[in-house]
A and B are shown apart, each in its own frame.
Chain A
Amino acid sequence: MRLNFISFFLYPLLLLLSQILFFQNINFNGLINPHIYLFVVLFLPRDINLSFQFLMIFVYGLIVDYFCLTDGIATFSLLLLVLFRFLILKIIYNKDESEAPVLNREIQGYAFIFRYVFIGVFFYHLTFFLVESFKFYDILYNLMRTILTTVFVVLFYSLINFIYLSKQKK
């Protein structure tokens, strides 16, 4: 019950608040625009009904769009990520996806989680920037934005993990 409350309410709310208050203001000449609320999708428990996942992320995406003024682009990209994350897991996990309903570094290991996060973040930002510009001839610029933003987000994720782990060790 506690896990469900954290997964479904506290965790998404925390990510949305940090996005609005902090990450929304990061803009290195338009090259780094991190969207960290996507971790809600990446670490969504996989044993939930897929249709319910889509509906839940749709509502969450609309809330994000409303507060971040992204005109529906976040919802579009998040929904695509829900579908795509199963593909990522199939490619890099090499096991039946139903085996592990929750993604956790203690179950799957750090290397796996980082690979998964990296591909997921990259895919999300690429979709977001492409839909935002809506021009395929801008793909090189968007690719550069995506790579820089992905590196930033993954570094941030590693930093949070590092702080959390060092606290645990103490």
Chain B
Amino acid sequence: MENIINILIRSFPFILFIILELITLQIIRSSSDYHRSMFLNKSDYILGSVAYQIQKVNDYFDLDNKNKKIAQENAILLKEIIDLRKKVTFNLKIQDSTLINLPIQQYHIIGAKIIHSSVSKSRNYIILDKGTKDGVNTRMGVVSPSGPVGFVVEASEHYSCVMSILNKDANLSVRVKDDKSIGILRWTGGDIRVAALEELPRHIKLKKGQIIETSGFSSYFPEGISVGRVLDIQEDNSSNQNKITVLFNEDLSKLQYVYVLSKPLDHELDKIMLLKDSLQNKIDTDAP
């Protein structure tokens, strides 16, 4: 103890020097805008570099899981390629025989990383690391290999904000895979693994385990993307609908990477919709 005190006494001038220099640096930082911004730049750079290195180490240790996931994705994509090849061959045969030109909807796919995501609120949003610079814009759908994730509602130059399907305001047009009956999927809050399938007439008899997929009625998602399976059906005599619960394919809280679907012909659809609205308004105003 005595030694420590002696060392402290001996090094007191040096400690004082350090303290005075720190005070001076604080004065420089607070009195000059230029130095304040430079300090912030440097500290941002240092913190950013440290965070980046930590992230790299974490990514390295997570490589095994990622490899498995990529392998699964590859398998699904391969299956889709095979299915599409079959469809293309089929379409070509129809074109040859009947000269019917079938419209093919093309989607550009932009890979993005989730940098922030919430699942605990009633209105959940996701932030992606891709923005308008990468081609991401509002009115685009976001999917994961396991199904729809949400809709792009805001896009800045480098980032975009996605309204998750785990949002009370989000409505997803879906259909039952087997009989193509159309309904609306809404998340009602609470359990993030399930959502309610609404607006499906009572006469349509569903079974547990039936696959629910996107209907393709909105410009956000193409048809046929699997959303989940029917988990529970409760008959409700008071209304003309049954209470149907759908289990999502994947836990959205664990998502890291997603794909933004960009539809090149979307602006044409927008133009047509605007034209339709203006015509509708004109008819409404002209009507006696």
For residue A17, which residues in chain B have a CB less than 8 angstroms away from its CB?
Answer: none
- B39 closest partner in A (C-beta): A134
- B132 interfacial contact with A, CB 8 Å: no
Q: Which residues in window 19-37 of B have CB below 8 A to A?
A: 20-21, 23-25, 27-28, 31-32, 34-35
- B17 interfacial contact with A, CB 8 Å: yes
Q: How many residue pairs, one in A and one in B, have C-beta atoms under 8 Å apart?
A: 47
What is the distance, in angstroms, from B45's C-beta to the closest C-beta of chain A?
A: 12
Asked if A76 and B13 sit within 8 Å, CB to CB, the answer is no
Interface size for chain A: under 10, 10 to 19, 20 to 34, or 35 or more residues?
20 to 34
- A6 interfacial contact with B, CB 8 Å: no
Complex-state Cα separation, A135 to B284, whole angstroms: 67
Query: Given A51-B12, A55-B16, A134-B38, are A76 and B21 neighbors across the interface (CB < 8 Å)?
Result: yes
Interface residues in B, total, Cβ within 8 A: 16
For residue A49, which residues in chain B have a CB less than 8 angstroms away from its CB?
Answer: 13
- A79 interfacial contact with B, CB 8 Å: yes
Asked if A75 and B27 sit within 8 Å, CB to CB, the answer is yes
Complex-state Cα separation, A16 to B268, whole angstroms: 74
Complex-state Cα separation, A61 to B20, whole angstroms: 11
Complex-state Cα separation, A68 to B279, whole angstroms: 72
Main DSSP-derived SS at the B contact region: helix
- A71 interfacial contact with B, CB 8 Å: yes
- Residue of A51, A65, A76, A135 touching B16 (CB-CB under 8 A): A51
Asked if B28 and A79 sit within 8 Å, CB to CB, the answer is no
For residue A51, which residues in chain B have a CB less than 8 angstroms away from its CB?
Answer: 12-13, 16
Q: Which residues in window 79-116 of A have CB below 8 A to B?
A: 79-80, 82-83
Complex-state Cα separation, A97 to B16, whole angstroms: 21
Q: Give per-residue flags for A29-64: 1 if the beta carbon is below 8 A from chain B beta carbons, else 0.
A: 000000000000000000001110011001001000
- B41 closest partner in A (C-beta): A134
- B13 closest partner in A (C-beta): A50
Asked if B27 and A79 sit within 8 Å, CB to CB, the answer is no
Asked if B35 and A134 sit within 8 Å, CB to CB, the answer is yes
Asked if B35 and A58 sit within 8 Å, CB to CB, the answer is no
What is the distance, in angstroms, from A60's C-beta to the closest C-beta of chain B?
A: 12
Asked if B25 and A54 sit within 8 Å, CB to CB, the answer is no
Complex-state Cα separation, A76 to B13, whole angstroms: 16
Give the 8 A-B residue pairs with the shortest CB-CB distance, closest first: A72-B27, A50-B13, A72-B28, A76-B24, A71-B32, A134-B38, A71-B31, A51-B13
Known pairs A50-B13, A71-B27, A72-B28 / 8 extra A-B pairs, C-beta < 8 Å: A55-B16, A72-B24, A72-B27, A72-B32, A73-B28, A75-B27, A76-B24, A131-B28
